[in-house]
Chains A and B, each alone.
Chain A
Amino acid sequence: MNPELQGRVFERTPGYLVGREKIREFSKAVFSTSPLNFDVEAARAAGYADLVAPPTFSVVVQELTLAQLLSAPDAGIDFSRVVHSDQRFTSTRPIVAGDELTAVLTVSSVKVLAGNALVTAESRIEDTAGEHVVTAVSTLVVRAE
């Protein structure tokens, strides 16, 4: 694992268009029963433009940024040795169907201890107006060989 990765900012991901059926599919997968995740009328009655995504849905967009990090040729990360240690979402507003989202990943820290590397990656997710929607932060442990 290359410690010089600390501070690196990756390229903004292409727009991800949040679809209604994707929200329904994801909501079902996380055992949601909230009508706001499934029923457009219920979501509208609650003041939303369309179906609302569950709080951890942004992982779908974050995943695109983590793929950039893991595949960076000079990162030296062996995917099979990566363990997800911490995850956090800090949001300004929920994601709604119809949102088009982009994300920028920043490697906020790399710590190497006894060969194991602890990497904190912060993905800032914005809408087409450039407004902040949610920041997803992952801490990954890359185990020594």
Chain B
Amino acid sequence: MGIDFSALSVGDVVGEHEFTLSRDSLVRYAGASGDFNPIHYRDDVATSVGLDGVLAHGMLTMGMAVQPIIEWIGDPALIDDYGVRFTRPVLVDPMSGALVQVTAKVGQLDAEAGTARIDIVATAAGATVLGKAQVRVHAPRAADPASADSAAGPGAA
């Protein structure tokens, strides 16, 4: 698992993916995360609080949007920081669901420190849904579990 940080340039696309969300996805995420706010599965509750309909959990969008970066980088231990702002809700139609498009690009590079900032653009229905979505990653170091020099990874007995 080796990403050559010296070969990266600002603006490089490191990952892209299109996710199709259905109401089933929201119920699955509610169960997995423990967030059972009914605005994520009940139209009547969503509309009673002034929403246009059932929305995806912001944390589901955040969780999906980082997946293309993990696929690129291989080892999740190389991710130091991940932050987003929830700017627009993702409406999930009961029949057609919602399409969320994710593109991850190199936003900033520090070759000496061996770190990079990856910027995520996530859009649904033609509008961006995350703001300031940034992932800070580092090049493999001896202490990382996947590194050959590392004797034992996190949680190793």
Given known A29-B33, A33-B71, contact A49–B59 (CB-CB < 8 A): no
Beta-carbon contact of A56 and B66 below 8 Å:
yes
Beta-carbon contact of B154 and A96 below 8 Å:
yes
Count chain A CB atoms within 10 A of each CB in B32, B34, B62, B146 and give the residue with the most.
B32
Complex CA distance for A131 and B10, rounded to whole angstroms: 34
Chain B residues near A98 (CB-CB < 8 A): 155
Tell which of A3-11, A83-91, A116-124 binds the partner.
A83-91
Complex CA distance for A90 and B83, rounded to whole angstroms: 8
Q: Which residues between 79 and 101 of chain B lie within 8 Å of chain A, taking CB atoms?
A: 79-86
The size of the chain B interface, using a CB distance under 8 A, is: 43
Tell whether B31 is near chain A: CB-to-CB under 8 Å: yes
User: Which B residues are within 8 Å of any A CB, using their own CB?
Assistant: 1, 19, 25, 28-29, 31-35, 49, 58-60, 62-64, 66-67, 70-71, 75-77, 79-86, 144-147, 150, 152-157
Complex CA distance for A87 and B35, rounded to whole angstroms: 15
Given contacts A47-B145, A47-B153, A63-B34, 7 further A-B contacts (CB under 8 A): A25-B31, A28-B32, A34-B70, A46-B146, A46-B153, A84-B58, A84-B59
Number of interchain pairs (Cβ within 8 Å): 128
In the complex formed, the residue of B with least CB distance to A133 is B154
In the complex formed, the residue of A with least CB distance to B37 is A79
Beta-carbon contact of A49 and B49 below 8 Å:
no
Q: Which residues between 29 and 47 of chain A lie within 8 Å of chain B, taking CB atoms?
A: 29-34, 36, 46-47
Beta-carbon contact of A52 and B28 below 8 Å:
no
In the complex formed, the residue of B with least CB distance to A61 is B34
Question: A113 to chain B: closest CB distance in Å?
Answer: 17
In the complex formed, the residue of A with least CB distance to B58 is A84
Beta-carbon contact of B75 and A26 below 8 Å:
no
Q: Write 20 A-B pairs (CB below 8 A) sorted by A numbering.
A: A22-B32, A26-B33, A29-B28, A29-B31, A31-B67, A33-B71, A34-B70, A47-B146, A47-B152, A49-B152, A55-B76, A55-B79, A55-B82, A56-B66, A59-B63, A85-B85, A86-B84, A94-B79, A96-B154, A96-B155
